[in-house]
A and B are shown apart, each in its own frame.
Chain A
Amino acid sequence: MNDLLLTGLLILIKLGMVLAVLLSMAAYLVLAERKILGRMQRRYGPNRVGFGGMLQPLADLIKLLTKEDFIPAQADKWLFMLAPGLAAVTALLAFAVVPFAPPLEIFGRQLPMVVCDLNVGILYFFGLSSLAVYGVALGGWASNSKYALLGALRAMGQMLSYELAMGLSIVPVILMARSFSLTEIVQAQASLPFALCNPVAFGIFFISALAESKRTPFDLPEAENELVAGYHTEYSGMRFGLFFVGEYLNLVVLGAIITSLFLGGWHGPLLPPIVWFLGKVLAVAFVFIWIRGTLPRLRYDQLMAFGWKILVPLALVNLLVTGGVLLWLGGAS
């Protein structure tokens, strides 16, 4: 009984810590993005609240919570209220299968440093990332505004197209690791990260992840200069905040997934595993922000043509080549 209690307590502590770290990382990524973009545009970025702007996320949160929660008169009320939650929850749940450190020995028992090690872990991530589009699509539709609807339509088309390339670029990784479980995929990269064995798959996955997170140069669903703010045009207060949090949570989760699939997860010399993991995730997030500060937006037909005519065929060829090489090396047992 006591044993069971301790196990439950450990799991609860782990869940709480993961949640706290994830949410605060998302909040501080907003600040980091504003500051980095500011520096790239030769200005300071937010630096008034707290020391060097460190309390800015808190100020933003208070602002969002105290703002009026506005629902347009012709909106589909229930869907309008539900959609932002959907956007945030799918991003939050997707982190459950990401292993962030090797199993920890504590009180004489093994505590796996992953919320839930599913044997179809990578498919679970896929399922949630394909559901993430509903938050955007339903939010845009329920607003009953043409800008929001156009944003939602763009988001749906974009995410359907790039999910295919994303899925195809993961197959070589699964072939090399011979498992769907993210923990086993990370363990298979103990000596060499997959980004070095298969840079094409890494490139395709990175670009698709960028499109999946609806960030520049793929931010057409919320293109400010044509669609006002796209799918969240009609949202205000914390409902808008949830879309925002969802976007940055997605950034963290995609960084974590890229880290586990291609960058060797927690593996690395000298430093403790968790530091390596966090460092890699933040590095990926930094590159995402860097890209936002550098690249212009694509046109919609360019986006579709790039996805279907370049990324998908390239991913298929890469899959064929990887499979052939693995067979040639005698991996077929």
Chain B
Amino acid sequence: MASLLFYLLAATALLATLLCITRRSPVHAVIFLINAFFALALMFYLLGAPLIAAWEVIVYAGAIMVLFLFVIMTLELSPDSQRPALSRGQWAPALLLFLLLLVSAGLILTFDPASQASVPLFYASPRSFGAALFDRYGLAVEIVSFQLLFAAAGAYYLGRRRKAHQAEESS
């Protein structure tokens, strides 16, 4: 039953991602991406990690994708405003990356490192997950959060309104 569900969800995720990158309308693409996130969240749930499944839905499907949608709607990206130009400079790197992905997927499937590693128990309950996150990996979490803070400050700095500068230039 679980494996059947897994294959169903995996197929959904793959199909949704494929549809996402082939849609002309950016809004439709975002909707298919949300679909893929849902399939992923359910897969996490299937693996016995309800907390990660919940975060996947809240953070990715619920917050980040809403932001994407917001930006797309504000910019009014219509399907015909960007024609896809199929130059060699575009599809050659894509092909290279695709081959790389195919080879690494094949390698992973043959060696199957997942069967040797044991799944940490702390996935299951929110309490032990939190303890593991802030106790065992506390330092890493702090470093990552500081990086995010710097990134936010940097983005704010880049996006600030340069009133003084513009006034100087125009005068």
Chain A bound to chain B: yes
Residues of chain A at the chain B interface (Cβ within 8 Å): 76, 79, 118-120, 123-124, 126-127, 130-131, 133-134, 137-138, 141, 149, 152-153, 156-157, 159-160, 163, 178-180
Contact flag A137-B69 (CB < 8 Å), given A123-B51, A153-B74? yes
Nearest CB in chain A: distance from B77 CB, A: 11
Let me know if B50 and A120 touch, CB within 8 A.
yes
Contact flag A126-B58 (CB < 8 Å), given A137-B66, A153-B74? yes
Contact flag A118-B50 (CB < 8 Å), given A127-B58, A141-B27? yes
B58's partner among A119, A130, A153, A178 (CB-CB below 8 A) is A130
Let me know if A123 and B54 touch, CB within 8 A.
yes
Let me know if B73 and A141 touch, CB within 8 A.
yes
Let me know if B66 and A149 touch, CB within 8 A.
no
Which residues of chain B have C-beta atoms less than 8 A from A124's C-beta? 54
- Whole-angstrom CA separation of A180 from B125 in the bound complex: 10
* Complex interface residues of chain B between 100 and 134 (CB less than 8 A to chain A): 125-127
Which residues of chain A have C-beta atoms less than 8 A from B31's C-beta? 79, 138
A119-B125, A152-B73 given. 5 additional CB < 8 A pairs? A126-B58, A156-B66, A156-B73, A160-B63, A160-B70
Let me know if B63 and A149 touch, CB within 8 A.
no
Let me know if B73 and A149 touch, CB within 8 A.
yes
Which residues of chain B have C-beta atoms less than 8 A from A130's C-beta? 57-58, 61-63, 66
- Whole-angstrom CA separation of A96 from B84 in the bound complex: 45
Counting from the closest, the 3 A-B pairs by CB-CB distance are: A130-B62, A123-B54, A127-B57
Nearest CB in chain B: distance from A131 CB, A: 6
Which residues of chain A have C-beta atoms less than 8 A from B127's C-beta? 178-179
Let me know if A157 and B70 touch, CB within 8 A.
yes
Which residues of chain A have C-beta atoms less than 8 A from B69's C-beta? 134, 137, 141, 156
User: Is B94 an interface residue when CB atoms closer than 8 A count as contact?
Assistant: no
A127's partner among B25, B54, B126 (CB-CB below 8 A) is B54
Nearest CB in chain A: distance from B70 CB, A: 5
Which residues of chain B have C-beta atoms less than 8 A from A180's C-beta? 126
Question: Chain B 45-79 against A: per-residue CB contact (8 Å), 1 yes, 0 no?
Answer: 00000110111011001110011011001100000
Q: List 24 A-B contacts (CB under 8 A).
A: A76-B27, A79-B31, A118-B50, A119-B125, A126-B58, A127-B54, A127-B61, A127-B62, A130-B61, A130-B66, A131-B61, A131-B62, A133-B62, A134-B34, A134-B69, A137-B66, A137-B69, A141-B73, A153-B70, A153-B73, A157-B70, A160-B66, A178-B127, A180-B126
- Whole-angstrom CA separation of A288 from B54 in the bound complex: 29
- Whole-angstrom CA separation of A152 from B76 in the bound complex: 13
Let me know if B125 and A133 touch, CB within 8 A.
no
Name A150's closest neighbour in chain B (CB-CB). Answer: B73
- Whole-angstrom CA separation of A247 from B145 in the bound complex: 36
A159's partner among B58, B66, B126 (CB-CB below 8 A) is B66
Q: Which of B50, B66, B67, B125 has the most CB of A within 10 A?
A: B66
Which residues of chain B have C-beta atoms less than 8 A from A120's C-beta? 50-51, 53-54, 126
